[in-house]
Amino acid sequence: MYRPPKPQPPPPPIRMPTLGALPSYEHVAQMLGQAQQARGRVVELVFINQSQHHEKMLSVRCPVDDSDPVWLFYAQFRDEPNAANNPNQNAPAWSYQSPDVALIHNIVTRECMGGPVEESAEQITTLSGFKNNTSGADNLAQAFRNAGAGLQQAQTPASMQGDLKNIQVPKLLLSVAMHELTGRLYIESPQGGSEIFFENGKPLHANALDSQGDMAIIEMITWQDGRFEFHDNERTTARTVSQSLDTLVQQGTPLREYVRELNTHGLSMESYLVRRLPNLTEADFERAVYSGIPLDLNMQKLLYQCIDNQSTVFDVLRRRPMSKTEWLPILYNLVKCDLVVISNRAAQVQQQLPLEAMGIDRATVQAGMRSLLRPETELINYPLILHFVEQEFFRYESSGLPFSLIIFEMAMRTPDGPQPLPIPHIREIAKRINLITRKIDLLAHFETFAFMILLPYTNVNAAAVVANRITQAILSSPVCDLDSRYIAVAMGIAGLPEDCDNIGMLLAGAKEAKKRAQQGSSPIVLLKDIRS
């Protein structure tokens, strides 16, 4: 008589060490890695939610058929001998099938921060808590209030805060000086974050975008919109401001007027600059600008020569990097002297023939490129970008033309610290970056969590212009369903031959600059500024 074999009991779960706090992104990634190595077995992680004073558990199992991993979350886990006899005692709060580690980590974090979630799994996976739970979003906004545009958070509550629409930056700075305040003034605007450290009303150190010291304060003075906070008694050892506040306000106030006037003409970094008179002679140009504000004639000519009716303000500044104190008065002068028009579109020119017109199937080219990209992000793989960097170095050795690297990290601010962004958000940011960069620039993954932009034929100052524009594009509007206030960006820039003469030092230098951006308040750090 045939007797079927007794069913084998399922293998015991793999239990990771219990945590005394919420799991980090690395913990969740480690769980998935173990589950992929032991397909069919459950990997469990028990952790203690300090705010609710009881244990929770996250588990994952990778099916043997190579389908997506299945995650289970237990809101009130009891690790007791008789717990298995009561199926309701350890019933999962939710389950979800996904290979996205960042997504699962975000769901777990939200669950633990806000208590049990009653929405469906579909709602949870869209990070709807940032959008639908208004009170929760307000609490998060307060908790995530950053101390600058880098990856750190405010250490002390603000003693003074307000809107720049109600008090202009020059008056705000002079008020801090008049009351002899000591602490850190943080300003958040559409251009980015900035800070000034005061000692008894005297500015000692300032950061704004990629500028420091005097130039950073002048940059802030031009800002029209945003919010500010003052944190008492926060200090720094850095000393980058050399001029008095009165002098800096005097230099920056005219720039505010130039910004206000050019804004009425529709100025933005995406605006196109068009010459009004196509056949203007040099003598005619000199006579025209003579009637404007007194500026360096050669500098005006240099900027005017970069205007080709096809380039945006960003394109022009990338080809001819200038500080805001230089290009803003010149552009104002060219517009007021009726030499340049600010337009929302380029002059029409005949388009170059695409590959299709040459009988080449673009689909074949795209199929070949897909094999070089990481599937989930559609960005160039880390090993391959190193090959392109090496090729650019060989081109430099042959031609002497410079190139630069931007190495950067992006993170989502959470109460437990910065966490990597989910894949959909990375894809959205990549689209924004590709709209800004040229076709010859390359965006790629770098090491584990970072990214790189390779900028051929670009010096360090021009790379800083690109980094500024990218930072603004990322932080100016929500990314997918995530408010940009919850996104932190840290960029490091190094160039060859300005900073070094070999690839090893170039990569190490850009990484070190990125690290300084993570540790400080400015989202952009140039290697040359670290060494100066």
Q: Which of the two residues, 190 and 393, has the higher pLDDT score? A: 393
Question: Which among 491, 378, 529, 353 has a CA at the least distance from the CA of 442?
Answer: 378
Same domain, 210 and 283: no
Same domain, 442 and 505: yes
Residue 284 falls inside a structural domain = yes
Element (H or E) spanning 36, and its range? helix 25-37
CA separation for the pair 288, 247 (Å, rounded): 30
Q: How confident is the model at residue 143 (pLDDT cuts 50, 70, 90)?
A: very low
Same domain, 477 and 385: yes
Same domain, 100 and 233: no
Q: What is the per-residue pLDDT for 211? A: 81
Sequence-ordered list of residues with C-beta below 8 angstroms from that of 464, at least 6 positions apart, any chain: 210, 321, 493, 524, 526
Question: Which among 13, 98, 93, 97 has a CA at the least distance from the CA of 54?
Answer: 93
Q: What is the per-residue pLDDT for 135? A: 30
Residue corresponding to tokens 């010459």: 275
Amino acid (1-letter code) at residue 253: T
Same domain, 392 and 501: yes
Same domain, 37 and 181: no
Q: Please check whether residue 467 is in contact with residue 425, taking contact to mean a CB–CB distance below 8 angstroms.
A: no
Residue corresponding to tokens 């809101």: 75
Same domain, 442 and 472: yes
Q: What is the per-residue pLDDT for 262? A: 93
Same domain, 527 and 409: yes
Question: What length does the chain have?
Answer: 532
390-418: average pLDDT: 91
Check pLDDT > 90 for residue 237.
no
Same domain, 309 and 399: no
CA angle, residues 471, 340, 285, in degrees to nearest 5: 125
Residue 147 falls inside a structural domain = no
Q: Which of the two residues, 486 and 366, has the higher pLDDT score? A: 486
Question: Which among 472, 473, 470, 463 has a CA at the least distance from the CA of 321?
Answer: 463
Q: Which of the two residues, 217 and 51, has the higher pLDDT score? A: 217
Q: Which of 42-56, 111-125, 130-144, 217-231 has the lowest mean pLDDT?
A: 130-144
Q: How confident is the model at residue 26 (pLDDT cuts 50, 70, 90)?
A: confident
Q: Please check whether residue 26 is in contact with residue 45, taking contact to mean a CB–CB distance below 8 angstroms.
A: no
Residue 151 falls inside a structural domain = no
Task: Transcribe 268-309 into DSSP letters.
Answer: -TT-EEEES-TT--HHHHHHHHHTS----HHHHHHHHHT--S
CA separation for the pair 313, 37 (Å, rounded): 52
What DSSP state is assigned to residue 184? E
pLDDT in tens, 45-99: 988 865 555 788 899 998 888 777 888 988 776 665 544 444 445 677 777 777 7
178-190: average pLDDT: 89
User: In 144-244, which residue ranges form alpha helices assigned H by DSSP?
Assistant: 169-178, 213-221
What Cα–Cα distance (Å) separates residue 29 from each residue in 75, 100, 101, 104? 20, 9, 6, 10
Q: Which of the two residues, 354 and 168, has the higher pLDDT score? A: 168
For 137, other C-beta atoms within 10 Å of its C-beta total 16
Of 260, 284, 315, the residue at which a domain comes to its end is 260
Q: CATH number, domain at 275?
A: 1.10.10.10
Q: Please check whether residue 403 is in contact with residue 503, taking contact to mean a CB–CB distance below 8 angstroms.
A: no
Same domain, 328 and 398: no
Element (H or E) spanning 334, and its range? helix 324-336
pLDDT in tens, 436-471: 899 899 999 999 889 999 999 999 989 998 998 899
Residue 308 falls inside a structural domain = yes
Check pLDDT > 60 for residue 139.
no
Q: What's the domain range around 321?
A: 267-343
Give me the percent of the chain exceeding a pLDDT of 90: 40
Of 104, 125, 146, the residue at which a domain comes to its end is 125
Q: CATH number, domain at 420?
A: 3.30.70.270
Alpha-carbon dihedral sign for residues 313, 319, 322, 323: positive
CA separation for the pair 339, 345 (Å, rounded): 17
Q: Which of 89-103, 106-120, 293-307 has the lowest mean pLDDT?
A: 106-120
Q: Which of 207-216, 321-330, 425-434 has the lowest mean pLDDT?
A: 207-216
Mean confidence (pLDDT) of the chain: 81
Residue 8 falls inside a structural domain = no
The token duo for 263 is 């804004």
Same domain, 402 and 512: yes
Q: Please check whether residue 307 is in contact with residue 275, taking contact to mean a CB–CB distance below 8 angstroms.
A: yes
Q: Please check whether residue 155 is in contact with residue 184, taking contact to mean a CB–CB distance below 8 angstroms.
A: no
SS3 state at 410: strand
Same domain, 527 and 387: yes
Sequence-ordered list of residues with C-beta below 8 angstroms from that of 225, at least 6 positions apart, any chain: 164, 165, 189, 190
Most confident among 91-100, 335-344, 369-378, 483-492 (mean pLDDT):
335-344
Question: Which among 518, 49, 50, 517 has a CA at the least distance from the CA of 530?
Answer: 517
CA angle, residues 27, 30, 33, in degrees to nearest 5: 155
Residue 206 falls inside a structural domain = yes
30-55: average pLDDT: 82
Number of domains in the chain: 4
CA separation for the pair 301, 232 (Å, rounded): 46
The token duo for 466 is 């690109």
Residue 9 falls inside a structural domain = no
Q: What is the per-residue pLDDT for 93? A: 77
Residue 141 falls inside a structural domain = no
Check pLDDT > 60 for residue 154.
no
Check pLDDT > 90 for residue 235.
no
Of 125, 150, 181, the residue at which a domain comes to its end is 125
495-523: average pLDDT: 90
Instruction: Look at strands 524-526 and 487-496 and give their pairing.
Output: parallel
